[in-house]
Structure 1
């Protein structure tokens, strides 16, 4: 049994786990920020602007011929 080799492998495993947790925290923070942005964009007066941005060709002309 090689104690130094086992210690090094354990240490590397801990570093990988810490890196994965750090990346996951950043992804969760970004998702929370995106959620806030979407909620802000969907508030009352912003809905029409968002719909127009998504489909700018709709609602530009009204056909009033009978």
Structure 2
């Protein structure tokens, strides 16, 4: 293989690696945003007085 061909293959490999890392970063950021939104939703949904009193009459 000549130097130009080797250079092209290495460059393409580097671009593919960078693209893969970019997609992974996007997926991780999306996961973090989803987790933060879910945590916020659960905090808002919980009532602080819920479950403090039990009705024992039948």
Pick the TM interval, shorter chain.
Answer: 0.7 to 0.9
Higher relative contact order (CA 8 A, sep 6+): 1
1:10 aligns with: 10
- TM (norm. structure 2) is 0.74
Q: Which runs of 5+ in 1 are unaligned?
A: 49-66
RMSD: 1.4
Q: Which runs of 5+ in 2 are unaligned?
A: 48-58
Instruction: Supply the distance in 2 between the matched residues of 1:18 and 1:47 (Cα, whole angstroms).
Output: 42
**Segments of 4+ in structure 1 off by > 2 A?**
none
Instruction: Supply the distance in 2 between the matched residues of 1:9 and 1:39 (Cα, whole angstroms).
Output: 45
Instruction: Supply the distance in 2 between the matched residues of 1:47 and 1:13 (Cα, whole angstroms).
Output: 50
Deviation at 1:41, TM superposition (A): 0.9
- Equivalences, count: 47
Instruction: Supply the distance in 2 between the matched residues of 1:39 and 1:47 (Cα, whole angstroms).
Output: 11
